[in-house]
Structure 1
């Protein structure tokens, strides 16, 4: 059997591309073709592509108190689901032009939770929904002191209304198990913390 990744972006032929919506985000329609695994060529087909910039997400963690900070805020995309559309999430923000993910992490930590990260450890980069969106998430765990954390945050001109919660690490893990946390970035980061918690508590308190 052939190994994975026999094709690359250069194998995709875009016959036509047009912008069908331009607002805060952009939607493009593409007519394209690419080779098939069986050696034939895919007939020209269309796809809509949601053009969204990259974002950075951070799980704030206090290794001494073994606590994390989670942000509660309204999310329109969850409005028609059974669970409340007020979700528990990570510190997060869109990457602006010229900003590194680490710079975004520090900016959003201040704006959304009043936190400054003394260390940032990379967890991973992942594509949110590559079937129809360009967005990449840069995911981190950041060291904080949670003793005085928590409260209300967010930028009024961006219509943000955020409550920062301090949560025991064990409780955050239970929230994934019982479904109270149901967004990808938080699930990935908290499960990563579960795997790396002992190491972080040793290294970050040294």
Structure 2
């Protein structure tokens, strides 16, 4: 078991799960399913039937916009329904992000959302990671990028009216954004993952100038 992890392999695959039944509980912008399944056990044999509710949604894309010349990052701020009980504010500072539409690639989504949410075009797109934000309860996968941009003149309020978006754009020195992350103001997974990558790679990106 340990040898397989060290070699980067998984002990079990999709063939080691039996989907007994799937029930649709809700269909809307997102969906909710009740899934009944059995799976192989690490010590041998099969589990009993397990019931889980799963939030089913389209995959998402996030892109941290970074100006190499000015050492600035571009973040967007908007109210988030899932954070209404946040003790500080339900308005969250985040990278540009959006859902993948049918027929779109993640890279196309990153470039489209940069225009829609921040009013800017991406000069170079660097793929960072693809990950599950919460695989115990949601099937969504996120593709995360860093987008190199010219931040001069970027700002204002953006978003699509038909999607009820009211998005304020912030252009911040990297050092100030890092302070906000350290104090907990940047508290979403996309920010944390992207900023940790940028803190490691920032010097090499700036050396390319």
TM-score by length of 1: 0.96
| Structure 1 residue aligned with 2:34 | 29
1:154 to 159, 173, 198: 159
Which structure 2 residues correspond to residues 66-145 of structure 1 after superposition, within 5 A? Answer: 66-145=71-150
Matched, 1:58 2:57: no
Structure 1: tracts of 5 or more residues without a match: none
Greater mean alpha carbon deviation, residues 59-68 or residues 76-85: 76-85
Q: How many residues align?
A: 204
* Mapped partners of 2:50, 2:185: distance in 1: 39
Q: Which stretches in structure 2 are left out of the alignment for 5+ residues?
A: none
Moved more, 70-79 or 32-41: 32-41
- Structure 1: distance between partners of 2:36 and 2:82: 28
Runs of 4+ in structure 1 deviating by more than 3 angstroms, as ranges, are none
Cα distance in 2, alignment partners of residues 141 and 99 from structure 1: 18
Candidates 185, 190, 195, aligned match of 2:195: 190
Match of 2:17 in 1: 12
Give the match's secondary structure for 1:21. strand
CA drift at 1:40 = 2.8
TM-score (norm 2): 0.95
Cα RMSD after superposing both structures: 0.9
SS state at 1:38 partner:
coil
Question: Tell me, what secondary structure is at the counterpart of 2:36?
Answer: strand
CA distance, structure 1, for counterparts of residue 198 and residue 149 of structure 2:
14
